[in-house]
Chain A
Amino acid sequence: MPTPPTAAPTAAPGPACAPGPVPAIEVTGLTFRYPGATSDTLRGVDLRIEAGDFVAVVGGNGSGKTTLCKTFNGLVPHFWNGDLTGRVRVHGRSTRKRSVADLAGEVGYVFQDFGNQLVRPTVRDDVAFAPLNLGLEDWAERADEALAALGIEDLADAYTWQLSGGQQHLTALAGSLALRPRVLVVDEPAAEVDPARAAAIYERLTRLNREGVTVVVIEHHADLVARYARSVVLMAGGRVRWHLPVQEALARTADLEEADIPVPQVVALARALDPAVAAGRAPVPLTAEACTDLLAPRFAGHPAGLAAGPGGLEPGAAVGPTTEVVARAHDVTAGYLSVSGPRSTVLDGLSLTLRDRERVALVGSNGAGKSTLLALLAGLTLPQAGTVEVGGRDTRSVSAAELAGTVCYLVQRPEEMFLQDSVRADVAMFPRGRGLPDTDELVEGVLDRMQLTEVADRDGRLLSGGQQRRATLAIALAMRPRLLLLDEPTSSLDLRSRDDVIGLLADLAEYIRCTVVATHDMHLVAEWATRVVVLDQGRVLADTDPATLFASPGVLRRARLVPPQVAQVGAGLGLDPVPLSVEELVERAEGER
């Protein structure tokens, strides 16, 4: 079924890399259908990626981004041998006659679930794995070189299962770099790490790019694309819609919106507030700093900032100390045993009181103690010292199973919440197990409210990422807890599903008295939370509302937090309180006019 190539003519890539004689990747008329599938995943793709470019591939779920990138290293069609027409050339040579192992030396690939890419017990062994397999004499030097290039030499003897998500990603990256590929494909590098670490990964990719490696990333976060990429490929419906230099690409907001890619906040701000940008006469700003400079003249007359508009969130203190206490941790110390021996302390003399009607965001860098605190509040672990009370009961005096009616803990990986063979059975598990009289109505009501009725008979594992979060929230809702604890509910979701989850969380407020979310996602903090607790090295570094947090550079730096762009721009403009959404800043600016 040869589909005629219908993609728009490919534009010249970013100005920084002049078209060379041999492009790194050249795709012509590529059509691909997975074995057993009923429709084509790629439909006539034409694409040319120059050597030395830094390309971001964007597009909605199911647009064929990952499949396209898997044609670069031969996984399509050599591993996934479906129907393929058209041609892919890597540095001028067709991939059709070359094996995946052969291409691996030229195109490195880091998968989206990179943790499963690590197959050896220690970091050094894993990084050396590919060069050893390919029989390269200098495998040891290559491994050392790759570790050094990413600055993770000190991890060399660590066990891969002990690494944090960010460290695992770097190890996977090093494992690909050990083959010294000239093209590196990274599928969603920022999906599961905190913003500071995502920036660090991109800085490393940028350095590799400067050293001559062609970098291709698949990315949902428009702000990262704006900051680091040189050109952008938009995929939609299995085709390349366009390939443009980043500044032009991000100015095409309508195309991006259509493909479910929200434009970066700085672009939205500039278009709303600067007529020249809106009319396309001036380039869009790509970073918060550039946007601040652009907008500064408009705000120059109002040094104290503009009055908070109706869009401003009430600070957490507005709930007042008079509402009922839901949970309380008093002078809590907790830690865990490590393989090497001594007990490490994660929480150190922490005190925290959670009250009725609070939406609490628990933030802090990886390892700050967020998950440990959630496990304590759920009664799954007991503190070494101090007390934890939930609903007035000391967690030492009741079992975790009994507490389950009061507090519900949703773990980070939704698959671990699916214990039955259908979503309905999972939702019904708790009320049925406790023999509640109205179980059936309750379950149907919850499924209906969470819009899960259609998929209720499917296994939760087979749902999309967004639906999985929806299903875990449904499980929580059916438990009717007073305190709901969530660990990273928005990680590795595309932005549409993420907004969806944030909306659901806001809706839950009427059923659940207090919700605590441990998160790296500052958009979630800005849009949803009324109170932010910043953890740092096992202590509470700050306990405030989002606007105050985003205006405190010292705390942000220490906890490695990166505020949403609109808050950065607001802080740069000297606004007080800092705006939390684009609409809020625009309203405030226009109210002033």
Chain B
Amino acid sequence: MSAPAAGRSRSGLDRASVEWVKLELMRVAYATRGGFLSRRDPRAVIAWYVVGAIAPWFTYDLTVLAILFGLAVVGALAARIGPLLLGLFVLGLLGELVYLLILVLVLGHDWSTVLDLVMPTLKLGTVSLVSMAAFVSLDPEKISDALLALRAPAMIGFAVSYGYRMIPVLIDEYQTVVDGHRLRGAPPGPVGFLGRRAVVRVCWIAVQAFYPLVLNTAKRTRTTVEALETRGFTAATAAGSGGLARSLRLARLRFTAADGVLLAGTVLAVAGAFAAGAVLPK
């Protein structure tokens, strides 16, 4: 058995960190931090995202890509993506760099291959940063309004906002179920080489815990479906995307001059990056 040695103590970080990750996800999902994009019209934010996400794919010029990447970093920081997403992103980037360095050593200083690999890394990095900046700034209502405005089926807009409503509940329930497994299941044995067995145990519990979660959710949905009926959602959806409900909901969206300035500025910045790439030495 794995009784901890006398004097060793739990710090409580195991639970605290799960709690922190959960809250951080909520802050990201519900756009609680503010940032320059969170005050904009959701359609403008989505347009901004499309510009930022597409631009890198039109060039193979490393200078342009580096400038775009730099702009995306600034954008992401200004949108306040928070420590969790930033940390994960930096971790991924560092992993990529280490991988490239090893590759250089193995391939015997063949830098051209490495440059070929840096290119997609920069492109994907830019797209990731822009996506994070956009979605951190949209709360669920804004996303579902924007989807509705873009004529996505009403069901998709609803599913997104319902997902946002349910995820915190499901995370809590999942945590309780995992705790149940930890407390009532077989106690952890020896951790094994490099903690191999501990990892297997954690994964096994993580998978097992989905079974009650799925069944409980299925049970829960019965009332939700009836409620959607009594609250007119089913009827409104059946009326199609041109229904009265849609126009009422969208009436509160305002595309202001500031939104126009944001988009114009973004397009100019991207154009500037391309122009700079043509001028600057490779």
Contact = CB atoms under 8 A, between A and B. Distances in A.
The interface size bin for chain B is 35 or more
Contacts of A401: 182-183, 187-188
Contact of B141 (A119, A121, A417, A479): A121
Interface string A369-399: 0000000001011100000000000111111
Contact of B245 (A116, A135, A421, A479): A135
B251 to A, nearest CB: 10
A397 B4 contact: yes
A109 interface: yes
Given A99-B235, A121-B161, A382-B10, A398 B4 contact: yes
B173 A380 contact: no
A402 interface: yes
Given A134-B236, A404-B183, A429-B184, A415 B231 contact: no
Contact of A415 (B168, B219, B245): B219
Contacts of A109: 230
Contacts of A133: 231-233, 235-236, 245
B177 A416 contact: yes
Given A161-B168, A338-B23, A475-B184, A419 B227 contact: no
Which secondary structure dominates where chain B touches chain A? helix
B105 interface: no
Contacts of A112: 223
Contact of B179 (A136, A380, A461): A380
Contacts of A122: 141
B15 A419 contact: no
Given A339-B26, A402-B187, A79 B248 contact: no
B190 interface: no
B30 A433 contact: no
B169 to A, nearest CB: 5
A117 interface: yes
Contacts of A395: 10
Contacts of B141: 120-122, 125
Interface string B88-127: 0000000000000000000000000000000000000000
B208 interface: yes
Contact of B184 (A99, A104, A111, A479): A479
Contact of A120 (B161, B236, B245): B161
Nearest to B7: A397
Contacts of B3: 398, 402
A430 interface: yes
A63 B179 CA distance: 38
Contacts, number: 189
Given A382-B12, A433-B185, A175 B220 contact: no
Nearest to B219: A461
B249 interface: yes
B235 A121 contact: no
B165 A118 contact: yes
B220 to A, nearest CB: 5
A119 B228 contact: yes
Contact of A159 (B19, B30, B230): B30
Interface residues of A, number: 72
B61 interface: no
A381 B12 contact: yes
Nearest to A114: B223
Contacts of A396: 9-10, 12
B32 interface: yes
B215 A339 contact: no
A101 B230 CA distance: 6
Interface in A211-231: none
A108 to B, nearest CB: 8
A162 B167 CA distance: 12
A113 B229 contact: no
A477 B142 CA distance: 49
Contact of A116 (B20, B186, B224): B224
A54 interface: no
Contacts of B211: 419, 421
Nearest to A100: B229
Contacts of B185: 429-430, 433
A419 B212 contact: yes
Contacts of B11: 382
A400 B4 CA distance: 12
B19 A175 contact: no
A402 B186 CA distance: 10
Nearest to A421: B211
B265 to A, nearest CB: 30
A400 B182 contact: yes
A160 B166 CA distance: 9
Contacts of B228: 119
A399 B168 CA distance: 26
Contacts of B54: none
Nearest to B176: A416
Interface string A183-220: 00000000000000000000000000000000000000
Given A121-B164, A339-B32, A461 B23 contact: no
A402 B4 CA distance: 10
Contact of B32 (A336, A340, A400): A340
A79 B226 contact: yes
Given A119-B228, A120-B161, A161-B166, 13 more contacts: A99-B235, A100-B234, A111-B227, A116-B223, A118-B165, A134-B235, A135-B248, A381-B15, A396-B12, A400-B182, A415-B219, A419-B177, A479-B184
26 contacts: A100-B230, A104-B231, A112-B223, A116-B220, A119-B227, A119-B228, A121-B140, A122-B141, A125-B141, A129-B233, A130-B230, A132-B248, A133-B231, A133-B236, A135-B236, A159-B30, A161-B169, A337-B16, A339-B27, A382-B12, A397-B6, A399-B10, A402-B187, A419-B181, A433-B185, A459-B215
Give the 9 A-B residue pairs with the shortest CB-CB distance, closest first: A135-B244, A133-B232, A382-B12, A101-B235, A433-B186, A116-B223, A133-B236, A130-B231, A101-B232
Interface of B: 3-4, 6, 8-12, 15-16, 19-20, 23, 26-27, 30, 32, 139-141, 158, 161-162, 164-166, 168-169, 173, 176-177, 179-188, 208-209, 211-212, 215-216, 219-224, 226-236, 243-245, 248-249
